[in-house]
Amino acid sequence: MSKIIIIEDDIYLREELVNTFVKKGYSVSSIPSFDAPEKEILNSAPDLAVLDINLPGKSGFELCKWLKARASFPILILTARDTLSDELYALGLGADDFLTKPCHPDRLIARAERLLQTYGKVRNLVQAGDLILDIDTYKVIWKNAHVVLSDTEGKILQVLLERYPAIVSKQDLSLVLWGGDEYVDENILQVNMTRLRKSLDVIGLRDIIQTVRGQGYRLEVREP
């Protein structure tokens, strides 16, 4: 069953929300502390996040924007702030739905399930900013264009996307691509990097892969 994470600081409401979804059979988690919510959320790898706006530390808006630039699960905003401008702002940041408290549990469930269903169709997507990669087929989507990569090229891009925006060392890439034990010539990685760059160039993604001399490679995606 799908995995849902609740990001809500009011402990009573949090428990209530957890219960609502647990009753429906979902696997639900929530975060107890708000020191580094981003990490906890990404680590739990949810299928859906239910996000409050008024949080200690980083606001829900900031969190939403941050997550949307990196993760590929839907985000449902649930907040007591019921102004139109809040809603417009949230949707503009990429939030997938916006509900105001108090919210009938049935409505929340229905909206959440709608999102899970929609995103279920496009499972196995990795994204960073506007760039999307289907890891089953290695189809890359950007703006209005797309291209299907070969196996090796796709795997490289996948690793870069998963660790975005960090630098990935050549060694790490070789490890993932050709298994760990033996020494692998790094030339083959460079060859495939050239091929990948050429493929991405076709849809206008020139210079998206940066070389960091002596350290490795990293993606440079312009934020939405």
Partner DNA sequence: GCGATTCCTTACACCAACTGTAAGTGTTAT
Partner DNA sequence: ATAACACTTACAGTTGGTGTAAGGAATCGC
Residues that bind its own copies (CB under 8 A): 84, 87-88, 91-92, 94-97, 104, 106-107, 110-111, 113-114, 117-118, 120-125, 132, 134, 136-137, 139, 141, 144, 146, 148
Q: Which does 197 bind (CB under 5 to 8 A by kind): DNA, its own copies, none?
A: DNA
Please provide the distance, in angstroms rounded to a whole number, between the alpha carbons at the two ends of the chain.
31
36 or 88: CB nearest its own copies: 88
For tokens 């990569």, the residue is 149
Residue 62's contacts (CB-CB under 8 Å, 6 or more residues apart) are none
Q: Which does 121 bind (CB under 5 to 8 A by kind): its own copies, DNA, none?
A: its own copies
Tokens of 96: 């997938």
Q: Quick check: 72 and 125 in contact, CB under 8 A?
A: yes
Q: At CA 41, angle to CA 170 and CA 58, rounded to 5?
A: 105
For tokens 């790094």, the residue is 186
26 or 217: CB nearest its own copies: 26
Could you give the string, one character per residue 113-152, with x where binding to DNA holds by CB under 7 A and - elsewhere? -------------------------------------xxx
User: Is residue 63 packed enough to be buried (19+ CB in 10 Å), middle (13-18) or exposed (0-12)?
Assistant: buried
117 or 215: CB nearest DNA: 215
Q: Which does 59 bind (CB under 5 to 8 A by kind): DNA, its own copies, none?
A: none
33 or 194: CB nearest DNA: 194
| Residue type at 205 in one-letter notation | L
Tokens of 92: 């503009």
95 or 160: CB nearest its own copies: 95
Q: Which of residues 154-193 bind DNA (CB under 7 A)?
A: 170, 177-178, 185-188, 190-193
Locate the DSSP E strands across the chain. Answer: 3-7, 27-30, 48-51, 75-79, 97-100, 125-128, 131-134, 139-142, 145-148, 209-212, 216-219
Q: Which does 151 bind (CB under 5 to 8 A by kind): DNA, its own copies, none?
A: DNA
65 or 111: CB nearest its own copies: 111
Residues lying near DNA in the complex (CB under 7 A): 150-153, 170, 177-178, 185-188, 190-195, 197, 211, 213-215
